[in-house]
């Protein structure tokens, strides 16, 4: 059963952190402590300010990426794909297009057995450097995402969705980067990804968010744990999971 249908029929049990339907209003976060509610309010303000600043500072890179994409292959510059956001609500995520037009849509990249057939040369560079994620700053401004949070998944990844719902992960806005992305990146298996998402939820704080942002820069520049295609073809990286969120 598709996630959307499961949510509509109530066949997936919601967490005490999350109500069915749209939970964008701050009063829907009543299961969090007062300090955590304040954290979300301040975090949203920081997301808006930092996203505006990053869009302004990185605008030359946006232009270069757009020109490179357009010159290499036909198709749109921006790729839009339906993902699952806060409260299980679907939204359109923005990314720089890194694949050819004939690529199957709504398929997780780690499910491709031959990703090289679909990824363009420019796209390869964008993906390795994570520059393809920059347009998600627009999603952050729209309130659909945060700079830090669990990565938004496509609707087809039902196994992870089910576990996220049960553990309350969908009470959080999805992030441009997240705890799993700095603890295994593309090599994290489904179970470990959910465990890391849950650990982030249980230890949310500005300090943890800052550590994730700083570690994201290091991971991107080192290309650590970058992998295209089926994750089962790579060694599991569950050993990369820190003992607790304070180790980020």
Per-residue pLDDT of 110-143, as tens digits, reads 666 666 678 899 999 999 899 999 999 999 999 9
Q: How far is the CA of 54 from the CAs of 46, 81, 97, in angstroms?
A: 12, 22, 20
Structure tokens at 147: 């700079």
Structure tokens at 104: 């199957």
More confident site: 184 or 172: 172
Mean pLDDT of the chain: 79
For the chain, where are the alpha helices, taking DSSP H only? Answer: 3-9, 34-57, 59-72, 121-129, 136-141, 158-167, 190-202, 206-222
Task: Say how far apart CA 30 and CA 97 lie, in whole Å.
Answer: 38
pLDDT of residue 242: 47
Enumerate residues 6+ apart whose C-beta is below 8 A from 36.
Answer: 29, 204
Its sign, for the CA torsion 162, 163, 165, 171, is negative
User: What is the arithmetic mean of pLDDT over 184-212?
Assistant: 88
pLDDT of residue 118: 82
Structure tokens at 216: 């994201």
User: What is the arithmetic mean of pLDDT over 238-248?
Assistant: 47
The DSSP element (H or E) to which 82 belongs, if any, is strand 78-84
More confident site: 5 or 40: 40
| The pLDDT of residue 18 is above 50 | no
DSSP letter for each residue of 52-80: HHHHHHTHHHHHHHHHHHHHHSSS-SEEE
pLDDT band at 159 (very low <50, low <70, confident <90, very high): confident
R_g (Cα) of the chain, nearest Å: 18
């Amino acid at each position: 059963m598709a996630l959307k249908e499961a949510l509509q029929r109530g066949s997936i049990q919601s967490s005490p952190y999350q109500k069915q339907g749209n939970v964008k209003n701050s009063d829907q976060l009543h299961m969090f402590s007062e300090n955590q509610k304040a954290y979300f309010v301040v975090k949203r303000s920081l997301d808006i300010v930092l996203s505006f600043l990053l869009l302004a500072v990185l605008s030359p890179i946006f232009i270069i990426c757009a020109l490179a994409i357009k010159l290499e292959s036909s198709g749109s510059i921006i790729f839009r794909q339906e993902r699952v956001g806060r409260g299980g609500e679907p939204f359109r995520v923005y990314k720089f297009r890194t694949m050819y037009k004939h690529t199957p849509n709504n398929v997780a990249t780690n499910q491709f057995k031959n990703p090289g057939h679909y990824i363009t040369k420019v796209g390869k560079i964008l993906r390795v450097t994570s520059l393809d994620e920059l347009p998600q700053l627009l999603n952050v401004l729209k309130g659909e995402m945060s700079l830090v949070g669990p990565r938004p998944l496509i609707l087809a990844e039902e196994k992870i969705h089910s576990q996220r719902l049960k553990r309350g992960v969908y009470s959080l806005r999805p992030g441009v980067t997240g705890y799993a992305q700095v603890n295994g990146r593309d090599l994290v298996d489904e179970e470990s990804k959910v465990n890391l998402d849950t650990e982030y939820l249980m230890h949310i704080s500005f300090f943890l968010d800052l550590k994730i942002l700083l570690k994201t820069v290091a991971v991107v520049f080192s290309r650590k744990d970058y992998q295209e295609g089926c994750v089962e073809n790579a060694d599991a990286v569950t050993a990369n999971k820190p003992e607790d969120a304070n180790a980020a």
